[in-house]
Structure 1
Amino acid sequence: MTDDTITDDRSRPGGVGELAGRRVARIGFGAMQLERLRGDRPAAIALVRRATELGVDHIDTAEFYGDGFVNGVLGEALAGHDGDVQFVSKVGAEVVPGGHGLRPAQRPEQLRAAVEANLRSLGVERIPVVNLRRMDSGIGIRADGDQVVPLDDQLEAMVAMRDDGMIDGIGLSSVAIDGLRRALPAGVVCVQNAYSLVARDDEDMLALCQAHGIAWVPYFPLGSAFAGLPKVTDEPEVISAAEALGVTASQVGLAWLLQHAPNVLLIPGTADAGHLEANLAAGSVVLDAETLARLDAIPTRELDVAAFRARQG
């Protein structure tokens, strides 16, 4: 089956792509923002179920999202249906005990403990994909001290968990291209890096993933309101394209990603049902060649990593 055949199937949001050897909708759901519904658990459960009703069949999560709250919601909302929805989780960080924020959890024994925690809270026997969140590149917190762990040691732990039947596929998050190349023999199926129309520094890595059949799943696909991260929806050409098409600037940004490369899968997150439907509708937005050329000409904006970390701290 060709890439065009896969991505042109519009029966699911954004068409159909491949994730760890499985066919999935190219627009999934990033569950992190479900934490905003901590005070209304039934609403959080209803939102997850609404997403699956609309065709979402892969959901990105982590045990450290809401300190287990998000996974608990997913496990309850999708009890008995885990085979129909592909969970993608991540390890490498943990919630600071008794406080807020995250700290590194990079050691091999911590990676295994995190996967075990994900299995319990999701209520599944195996997780289709687990991303290893590296902390030596990209934005966000950095590892230091005994948390500076060689990638090879971490991959050995991830492969062992795959061999033990705890996970099916190994992914990487916030990884540099040299790290990805070193990890290829382990059988990487997914890469999650910060990437959008206005932040395309990882173009070479995207191409490498495409060449190896690896799903490219960008986080911050529209940029971010956080200091230091440019926003796609602020770009005049994006706004102009949205007005011409009668859609939102956010939908244009997501549609550009889908048309940019066939191995792109999206996981936009929200805690609002209307916003969820708008995100999924972006999969039906078609950008013509002229519009794509104008969007492609937008220069990539430099990330102010220092400003972002200061805001997160």
Structure 2
Amino acid sequence: MASDTFRIGGERAVGRLGFGAMHLRPGSEQERRSCVAVARRAVELGVTLIDTAHLYGWGANEELLAEALYPYPEELLVATKVGVARGRPGQEIELCGRPEFLRGQVEEGLRRLRLERLELLQLHRVDPKVPLADQAGTLRELQDEGKIGHVGLSEVTVAQLEEARGIVEVAGVQNRYNVLDREYEAVLEACEAAGIAFLPWRPVHPAASQGAGEIAAVAAEVGATAAQVALAWLLERSPVVLPIPGTSRIAHLEENVAASGLRLSGEQYDRLDRLAAP
């Protein structure tokens, strides 16, 4: 049976089922209180890895997590991401990997999260207009300065991962991946071979929306929801996989966290494993 924990960069131990905070985007004061309650409940349930990003509310999500959880429990790792800017007219966002921009967002993240060091700082996307060596090199410099503990990448190819690893030690990769979407299978395999944490975003959808089929059948067999089965499959897929399902509802959060205790039989896992779309 796979371990329930993983050491980021071979050092920082976290529970393998994390929490993605992107849905905590309050509008009203009542919604803000609800989002704070969800973040606090995640920690109460034993979650030790929470993922946010500058993009989520342009820093508002980071501020909300600090409001809810600071001073942070010693075992909690809050990971954030940089490298996305507000878009020009007619463009919602744009990638920006210029060294001075990345540095600025790291400084803002430290301030908003009230931290002296970001334990896991991820490049949200590789900016194709800036050499990857410059982007990874900037994160390496920030790491050398003590502002970053571990460096991660998001939505990268195997080639990009290898190029970045030639410049800085990569401790995590966050790519889209779930039981029905295996586009980045090769990236996961590269992470597994190198002992790099693989944080699949969108780990449940669209599996949770399937009302019939193999996922629903397995869910009925184990007395769980389709979302829980999808998460259990990911946890079985590889010991380097750290799913980060997100939600803005406590009931849904509790359902997701409970998936860490769900065990699939080898036959059930194999049935789900055969579901990947061509």
Give the corresponding residue for 1:76.
Answer: 67
Structure 1 residue 71: Cα displacement = 0.8
Q: Please report the TM-score for the alignment, with normalisation by the length of structure 1.
A: 0.82
Give the corresponding residue for 1:266.
Answer: 243
Give the corresponding residue for 1:209.
Answer: 191
Aligned in 2, Cα 1:99/1:274: closer, same or farther, shift over 3 Å? farther
Maintained 8 Å contact 1:32/1:61: yes
Structure 1 residue 300: Cα displacement = 2.4
For residue 67 of structure 1, give the secondary structure of its aligned residue in structure 2: coil
Give the corresponding residue for 1:119.
Answer: 110
Give the corresponding residue for 1:17.
Answer: 6
> Separation in 2 of the partners of 1:164 and 1:97?
32
Structure 1 residue 64: Cα displacement = 2.0
For residue 80 of structure 1, give the secondary structure of its aligned residue in structure 2: coil
Task: Summarize the alignment of residues 126-275 of structure 1 with structure 2, pairs less than 5 Å apart.
Answer: 126-135=117-126, 148-185=129-166, 186-224=168-206, 231=207, 233-234=209-210, 236-275=213-252
Q: Equivalent of 1:280, from 257, 263, 269?
A: 257
The one-letter amino acid of 1:171's match is G
Structure 1 residue 54: Cα displacement = 0.4
Percent identity (aligned): 39
Maintained 8 Å contact 1:197/1:300: no
* 1:266-285 deviations in Å (ceiling 9; x for gaps): 11111000000000001111
Aligned in 2, Cα 1:69/1:128: closer, same or farther, shift over 3 Å? same
The one-letter amino acid of 2:154's match is S
For residue 123 of structure 2, give the secondary structure of its aligned residue in structure 1: strand
Aligned in 2, Cα 1:164/1:26: closer, same or farther, shift over 3 Å? same
Aligned positions, number: 274
Give the corresponding residue for 2:48.
Answer: 57
Structure 1 residue 49: Cα displacement = 1.0
The one-letter amino acid of 1:16's match is T
Is 1:41 aligned with 2:32? yes
> Separation in 2 of the partners of 1:260 and 1:119?
34
> Separation in 1 of the partners of 2:163 and 2:213?
39
Q: Please report the TM-score for the alignment, with normalisation by the length of structure 2.
A: 0.92
Which ranges of structure 1 fall in alignment gaps of 5 or more residues? 9-14, 137-142, 225-230, 302-313
Maintained 8 Å contact 1:198/1:232: no
Maintained 8 Å contact 2:79/2:118: yes
